[in-house]
Amino acid sequence: MITRRQALQNVTLFGAALSAVPFVSLMSARAADAAAAGPFSLPPLPYPVDALEPYIDAKTMEIHHDKHHATYVANLNKAVAGHEALAKKTPEQLIRNLDELPEAVRTAVRNSGGGHVNHTLFWQMMKKGGGGQPKGALAKAIDKSFSSFDKFKESFTDSATKVFGSGWAWLALDSGDLKVVSTPNQDSPIMRSAFPLLGIDVWEHAYYLKYQNKRADYIAAFFNVINWDFVSERFEKRRA
Ligand code: MN
């Protein structure tokens, strides 16, 4: 029996088997049109595309949201077409129990449902004038789990730096503990029964226009746009 904790530690291995999944099929020029057809829709960005300048450029935000995220939504809609029961679930419900899905849709829901859930969170985890450090209960929990905010930052940065290929690094609640974990592709901590609080997208599409191969600079810049109010609220609600 694999415990939740072991499962999270194995999360990278678990994804390695998926590395052959072609992501090219997720990119479609007609993404926005197709996204409209189905139960899931593309949420608007909670701020203008240039709000995170100079840390994340407007062109990247525009393409990332309007094309990449839209394509995940479109492909999730395609995946659940003809599956009435699945179409009624929330995206989080769909990705929480992948094993229970019909095999024919499992990979598509994992990639596109994961992409939809991850990006919907990602936009909210950032804001203009963000950065700094969390306050209150989350600050205390971070100190307790990592010994200091700086140590947390170091761990999160290290995790994001070491994601091989495409994926995410997260601060997640796992069985009541704060942990830094990474996931490959569009996998979410939710798929491992953990709860994502903060995440950074380290797919090249998230930074390549401005940072090219300098992922480390993008990760450092990300700390200037983190919406700690959103992250703290998520943490407190989950704990309550
Ligand atoms: Mn992305």
Helix intervals (H) in 147-224? 149-162, 208-211, 215-222
Residue 45 domain-assigned (yes or no): no
pLDDT at 64: 98
Task: Count structural domains, the chain.
Answer: 2
Position 34 pLDDT exceeds 60: no
Residue 27 domain-assigned (yes or no): yes
* Cα of 68 from ligand 1 centre, angstroms: 6
Tokens in use for 94?
Answer: 């769909």
* Cα of 64 from ligand 1 centre, angstroms: 6
* Cα of 211 from ligand 1 centre, angstroms: 15
* Cα of 202 from ligand 1 centre, angstroms: 7
Residue 42 domain-assigned (yes or no): no
In the predicted model, what is the mean pLDDT of the chain?
89
166 and 96 co-located in one domain: no
Instruction: List the CATH number of the domain containing 163.
Output: 3.55.40.20
Tokens in use for 12?
Answer: 């990278």
Judged by DSSP in three states, 18 sits in coil
* Cα of 217 from ligand 1 centre, angstroms: 17
Cα–Cα dist 57/173, whole Å: 30
Position 79 pLDDT exceeds 90: yes
* Cα of 60 from ligand 1 centre, angstroms: 10
Cα–Cα dist 218/9, whole Å: 25
Sign of CA pseudo-dihedral 45, 49, 50, 56 = positive
Closest CA to 240 of 156, 147, 173: 173
User: How much is the CA Rg of the chain, to the nearest whole Å?
Assistant: 17
Cα–Cα dist 76/40, whole Å: 7
Q: Among 96, 124, 152, where does a domain finish?
A: 124
* Cα of 187 from ligand 1 centre, angstroms: 12
Phi, psi torsion values for 198, nearest 5 degrees: -140, 140
pTM of the shown model: 0.85
154 and 223 co-located in one domain: yes
Instruction: List the CATH number of the domain containing 67.
Output: 1.10.287.990
* Cα of 207 from ligand 1 centre, angstroms: 9
* Cα of 186 from ligand 1 centre, angstroms: 8
* Cα of 28 from ligand 1 centre, angstroms: 14
Cα–Cα dist 177/65, whole Å: 31
73 and 142 co-located in one domain: no
DSSP assignment of 115-138, as one string? HHHHHHHHHHTB-TT--S---HHH
Higher-pLDDT residue of 35, 120: 120
Q: Are 168 and 118 in contact (CB under 8 A)?
A: yes
Cα–Cα dist 240/226, whole Å: 23
pLDDT at 240: 82
Position 25 pLDDT exceeds 50: no
* Cα of 166 from ligand 1 centre, angstroms: 9
* Cα of 19 from ligand 1 centre, angstroms: 16
232 and 148 co-located in one domain: yes
Instruction: For residue range 149-198, list pLDDT tens digits in order.
Output: 999 999 999 999 999 999 999 999 999 999 999 999 999 999 999 999 99
Residues composing the chain: 240
114 and 141 co-located in one domain: no
* Cα of 121 from ligand 1 centre, angstroms: 11
* Cα of 152 from ligand 1 centre, angstroms: 23
Judged by DSSP in three states, 227 sits in coil
The conformation of residue 197, written as its DSSP 8-state character, comes to: E
pLDDT band of residue 26 (cuts 50, 70, 90) is very low
pLDDT band of residue 133 (cuts 50, 70, 90) is very high
Position 44 pLDDT exceeds 60: yes
Q: Among 104, 124, 144, where does a domain finish?
A: 124
Instruction: For residue range 48-78, list pLDDT tens digits in order.
Output: 999 999 999 999 999 999 999 999 999 999 9
Phi, psi torsion values for 123, nearest 5 degrees: -60, -40
Q: Measuring CA to CA, how many Å separate 137 from each of 7, 143, 191, 232?
A: 27, 10, 26, 8
Cα–Cα dist 188/99, whole Å: 14
Cα–Cα dist 48/75, whole Å: 25
